[in-house]
């Protein structure tokens, strides 16, 4: 049983006898040891109903709980209930960690339910940059977390392979092809200046010769068919570098060919939710509280990105997903509100679609902070970043800050193999424990079964604090899922490593008689949780460094 739940159940058993029923029984971890291991402000929530002061209620609860076998002491202080746990209570937590092993922290919240996480979904107009890297790591780690909680997760990439941007990309490649033939054709306005198109243009110049001197319908078709598959290969290389694989790739063209755009339009028309103006079709969003009415069908008859996106989400619903989480940049909030409105008008459940929003990334290197721009060709390709700092650092750094906050990727810090680097700091804790176990094995001090060892020697404040921290792991995963916040898992692992490293430096593990097997059991629990957490982040937990 997790410690918070233990405290809640003990309080509830007393309140049931008193005929009191608060809306909740909050339990917190106090910032200072003298305030207890756990604390509850439940008395404040009962004061009005009981018509008594919080301190009087807390006194009664403390007295009723004074003999509870899990607590060495229960104090009533200024209306708060402060609980001091017996070492034996914490020892049972450690046994649970060791007993559940790799299942520790797993949940069943999503059992029997299907979740789709859509992320990256970058237009196939060039390689992925570090900006895309944040979304790739964020979406992948969220998918891992939800899988841990029982969801059947599908990772999906939406490929916008139609429309104006693809046409500009194809024309930009044609310009590079013409330049390779000595014809100084300019990159079209709004086109793509990236150097990644130059070698492709040279290759096509050798293959086609002067077959396409003009930018016309035939050239458009040929160069579009050449450029999109090549850009997809670049994107797949970048995803492979950072360790992300998708279960499903959905193309914009497929959504249109299914007839879903026409169906959505018809259904919205039947609900009086669209109107025609200036030859275009608009969504009546302002009448439903949004700031403006967006165009769904342009005056030339082509659907906007928003229109296809609405149809795409209807397709997701039809495929049987119970919940959809889209990982997107915070600059798309208006469009997200419009999609949600349209889905509501189409009759989809209110909570079907959620958005995990993230801010942009800038790179801080030896020469300062540089902004990324794929179109202008001034960017650091994601694969190149991973080659420089390693997959572990790339993934960890991308998710270690709150998604809604701007991320400054510290290039020099990510490359460091020292305790200054947070991912190295966490990994080194795992490595140190692995080293202790190798030495214990060599010295013949490793128990055959750590589950059966006597844990009573674990009485040091740091040891009990470490077990308290291990107890938090399942809750951390649930909060990460609820808040779309993998950064909380990074903070947890760094905190666990931060308690362990000084303990390791101060306390002798081996050659300590009865204390040795107990301390090895503790280290095994820490190692397990470090491994679990790093694995969920998609980061290695090395045995040696």
The reported pLDDT for the residue numbered 370 is: 55
The reported pLDDT for the residue numbered 238 is: 97
The reported pLDDT for the residue numbered 463 is: 98
The reported pLDDT for the residue numbered 189 is: 93
Tokens of 9: 């159940």
Are residues 227 and 170 in contact, defined by beta-carbon separation less than 8 angstroms?
yes
Residue spans per domain, the chain: 3-85, 164-242, 419-536
The reported pLDDT for the residue numbered 162 is: 78
Q: How far apart, in whole angstroms, are the C-alpha atoms of residue 247 and residue 493?
A: 29
Q: So what's the architecture of 3-85 in CATH?
A: 2-Layer Sandwich (3.30)
Distances (CA, A) of 303 to 29, 389, 413, 496: 53, 41, 45, 51
Cite the DSSP H helix spans in 105-216: 130-148, 164-180, 198-208
Q: 443-465, pLDDT tens digit by residue?
A: 999 999 999 999 999 999 999 99
Which neighbouring-strand residues pair with 159? 251
The reported pLDDT for the residue numbered 373 is: 52
Q: How far apart, in whole angstroms, are the C-alpha atoms of residue 46 and residue 61?
A: 12
Q: How far apart, in whole angstroms, are the C-alpha atoms of residue 335 and residue 322?
A: 22
The reported pLDDT for the residue numbered 467 is: 98
**Nearest to residue 365, comparing CAs of 310, 318, 412, 427?**
412
Which neighbouring-strand residues pair with 362? 408
Are residues 410 and 364 in contact, defined by beta-carbon separation less than 8 angstroms?
yes
Are residues 126 and 196 in contact, defined by beta-carbon separation less than 8 angstroms?
yes
Are residues 281 and 191 in contact, defined by beta-carbon separation less than 8 angstroms?
no
Tokens of 388: 């420089």
End-to-end CA distance of the chain: 35
User: What are φ and ψ of residue 155, in 5° steps?
Assistant: -90, 125
> Helix, strand, coil: what percent of the chain each, to 5?
55, 15, 30
Q: How far apart, in whole angstroms, are the C-alpha atoms of residue 447 and residue 510?
A: 12
Cite the DSSP H helix spans in 247-330: 252-257, 260-270, 305-318
User: What are φ and ψ of residue 187, in 5° steps?
Assistant: -65, 135
The reported pLDDT for the residue numbered 367 is: 60
Q: How far apart, in whole angstroms, are the C-alpha atoms of residue 275 and residue 282?
A: 5
Ranges of the chain with pLDDT below 70: 1, 366-379
**Nearest to residue 414, comparing CAs of 440, 441, 433, 395?**
395
Which neighbouring-strand residues pair with 283? 274
CA angle 530–533–538, rounded 5-degree value: 120
Q: How far apart, in whole angstroms, are the C-alpha atoms of residue 275 and residue 295?
A: 10
Q: How far apart, in whole angstroms, are the C-alpha atoms of residue 526 and residue 532?
A: 10
Distances (CA, A) of 429 to 112, 419, 433, 436, 470: 36, 10, 6, 11, 14
How is residue 186 annotated by DSSP?
Answer: P
- CA torsion sign, 175 to 178 to 179 to 183? negative
User: What are φ and ψ of residue 362, in 5° steps?
Assistant: -125, 155
Find the length of the chain: 545
Q: How far apart, in whole angstroms, are the C-alpha atoms of residue 464 and residue 94?
A: 10
Q: Under CATH, which number does the domain 419-536 receive?
A: 1.10.730.10
Burial environment of residue 350 by CB neighbours within 10 A (0 to 12, 13 to 18, 19 or more): exposed
The reported pLDDT for the residue numbered 375 is: 52
DSSP letters of 352-382? Answer: SEEEEEE--EEEEETTEEE--BTTTTB--BH
Is pTM, for the whole model, over 0.75? Answer: yes
Query: Quick one: angle between helices 461-483 and 87-100, nearest 10?
Result: 50
């Amino acid at each position: 049983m997790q410690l918070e739940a233990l405290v809640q159940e003990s309080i509830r058993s007393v309140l049931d006898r008193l005929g009191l029923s608060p809306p909740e029984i909050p339990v917190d971890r106090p910032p200072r040891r003298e305030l207890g291991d756990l604390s509850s402000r439940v008395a404040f929530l009962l004061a009005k109903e009981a018509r008594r002061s919080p301190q009087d209620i807390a006194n009664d609860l403390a007295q009723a709980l004074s003999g509870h076998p899990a607590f060495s002491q229960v104090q009533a202080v200024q209306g708060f209930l402060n609980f001091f746990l017996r070492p034996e209570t914490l020892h049972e937590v450690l046994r649970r960690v060791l007993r559940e092993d790799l299942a520790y922290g797993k949940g069943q919240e999503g059992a029997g339910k299907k979740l789709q996480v859509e992320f990256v979904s970058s237009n196939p107009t060039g390689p992925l940059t570090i900006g895309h890297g944040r979304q790739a790591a964020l979406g992948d780690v969220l998918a891992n977390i939800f899988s841990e909680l029982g969801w059947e997760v599908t990772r999906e990439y939406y490929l916008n392979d139609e429309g104006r941007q693809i046409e500009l990309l194809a024309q930009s490649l044609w310009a590079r092809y013409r330049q390779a033939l000595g014809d100084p054709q300019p990159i079209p306005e709004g086109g793509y200046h990236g150097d990644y198109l130059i070698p492709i243009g040279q290759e096509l110049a050798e293959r086609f010769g002067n077959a396409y001197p003009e930018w016309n319908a035939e050239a458009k078709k040929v160069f579009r068919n050449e450029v999109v598959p090549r850009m997809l290969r670049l994107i797949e290389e970048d995803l492979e570098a950072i360790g992300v694989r998708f279960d499903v790739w959905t193309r914009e063209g497929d959504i249109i060919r299914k007839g879903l755009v026409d169906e959505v339009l018809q259904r919205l028309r039947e609900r009086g939710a669209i109107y025609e103006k200036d030859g275009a079709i608009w969504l009546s969003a302002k009448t439903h509280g949004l700031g403006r009415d967006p165009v769904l069908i342009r005056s030339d008859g082509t659907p906007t990105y928003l229109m296809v996106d609405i149809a795409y989400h209807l397709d997701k619903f039809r495929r049987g997903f119970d919940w959809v989480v889209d990982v997107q940049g915070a600059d798309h909030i208006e469009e997200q509100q419009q999609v949600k409105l349209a889905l509501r008008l189409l009759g989809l459940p209110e909570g079907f679609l959620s958005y995990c929003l993230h801010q942009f990334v800038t790179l801080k290197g030896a020469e300062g902070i540089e902004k990324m721009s794929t179109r202008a060709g001034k960017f650091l390709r994601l694969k190149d970043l991973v080659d420089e700092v390693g997959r572990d650092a790339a993934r960890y750094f991308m998710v270690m800050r709150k998604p809604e906050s701007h991320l400054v990727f510290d290039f020099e810090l990510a490359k460091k193999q020292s305790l200054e680097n947070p991912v190295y700091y966490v990994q080194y804790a795992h490595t140190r424990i692995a080293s202790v176990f190798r030495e214990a094995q060599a010295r013949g001090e490793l128990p055959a079964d750590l589950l059966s060892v006597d844990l009573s020697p674990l009485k040091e404040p740091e040891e009990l604090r470490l077990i308290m921290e291990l107890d938090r792991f399942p809750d951390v995963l649930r909060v990460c899922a609820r808040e779309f916040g993998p950064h909380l898992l990074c903070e947890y692992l760094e905190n666990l490593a931060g308690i362990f490293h000084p303990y390791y430096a101060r306390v002798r593990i081996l050659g300590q008689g009865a204390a040795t097997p107990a301390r090895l059991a503790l280290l095994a629990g820490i190692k397990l949780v470090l491994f679990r957490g790093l694995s969920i982040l998609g980061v290695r937990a090395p045995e040696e460094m």
